[in-house]
Structure 1
Amino acid sequence: MTEPKNTESSTAPEAPAQPGAKAAPKRRFGGTPAQILSALKFYKYLAYATGVMLLLLVVELIFRYGFGSVLVAGGTDTVTGAAHGFGLAPIHSVTGGVNLSTMVLIIHGWMYVVYLISDFRLWTLMRWPFSRLVLIALGGVVPFLSFFVEAKVHKEVLAEVAANPKAGKRY
């Protein structure tokens, strides 16, 4: 019986090992440093925007469920029949107009979807473990967390890219 031959090919010949010299592992990114920095910039903007919208959402929910009011622009008061300008009104007491509280809900929801896309893009380019993606995604759900997670992720990405400026792409 013959043993199967090793079919793995090496792209570069290995340098002879020198005594006491330890080769640093080469970081393998999912893209070029320029792509990573672009994804980081997109993530940074979305993290701040999603964090601000989440804080607005928390305020809106406090008014809605704590005080029974919504923020409305325009419309007619159903009790008095008078025109309603801009401000807080009891729920279902104004017809017509624009319910700005509902707009905050909708905008935050869609912004969070785009935030998740930016998280995923950065995560794939950095080739981090799945747990890091989950932590970053929670930044858009827990109030104030997106600001802290963004600062930490931003610092780590810049440090990794600076430490491996010529790291090759994975493809």
Structure 2
Amino acid sequence: MTQQAPAPKTRRFAGTPAQIRSAASVYKALAYATGVMLLLVCVEMIAKYGFQADIVAGGMLADGSSNTLGFLPSGTFTGGVNLSKVVLIVHGWMYVAYLIADFRLWSLMRWPFSRFITIALGGVVPLLSFIMEKKVHGEVEAELAKYPQAAKRY
């Protein structure tokens, strides 16, 4: 009786390589955009809590002079746009889009749920989105190269 070699481990993806690469590209773009916005949120928080200042564009100062762009003490301006709030709102919605891209890539790759959580943390820990993007993108390409036959054919 002869022994047969064990069958090689196979991996199944939930989409085609093209769908997975597309999801990885969207994730990559949103990871960079969310990371940049998170750094701007950090600048805004340092200005607000460290120097009691807001980032403001336009408007009038309390002494009647006009402002174009700058860090102004909180409550000393009227009119204009409070860019501090704009940065917070844009980052919040961008993070939602980042989570959707994360979910799509995670579900196509059929990774464990803990992987989804670690990728999601990239949008709330400064600089982590850049690190995670490089790591995740490399893993996606490596797994697609390792298991070329694993993707579903539609």
TM-score, L = length of structure 1: 0.85
Q: Is 2:37 the partner of 1:68?
A: no
- Which residue does 2:127 correspond to in 1? 144
Identity %: 63
CA distance in 1, matches of 2:9, 2:68: 64
Amino acid in the other structure paired with 2:133: E
- The answer for the alignment partner of 2:70 in structure 1 is 87
Q: Deviations over 1:32-56 (max 9, x none)?
A: 1110000000001111111111011
Q: State whether residues 75 and 83 of structure 1, in contact with CA within 8 Å, keep that contact through their aligned partners in structure 2.
A: yes
Aligned residue number for residue 116 of structure 1: 99
**Structure 2, gaps ≥5 residues long:** none
- Check if 1:58 corresponds to 2:65: no
Q: Which amino acid aligns with 1:141?
A: V
- In structure 2, the partner of 1:153 is 136
Structure 1 residue identity aligned to 2:55: L
Q: Which moved more, 1:90-99 or 1:114-123?
A: 90-99
Q: Deviations over 1:50-98 (max 9, x none)?
A: 11110110011000010001111110112x1221221111111111001
Q: Deviations over 1:9-49 (max 9, x none)?
A: xxxxxxxxx73522212211010111000000000111111
SS at match of 2:142: helix
The letter of the residue matching 2:49 is: Y
Separation of aligned partners in 1, 2:150 and 2:57: 53
For structure 1, list consecutive stretches of 5 or more residues without a partner in the other structure.
1-17
The alignment yields a C-alpha RMSD, in angstroms, of: 1.5
**8 Å Cα contact 1:73/1:87 also seen in 2:** yes
> Please, what TM-score do these two structures have when normalized by structure 2?
0.94
Classify the secondary structure of the residue corresponding to 2:123. coil
Q: Matches of 2:138 and 2:65 in 1, distance apart?
A: 54
1:170 deviates by: 9.1
Alignment partner for residue 134 of structure 1, among 117, 129, 142?
A: 117
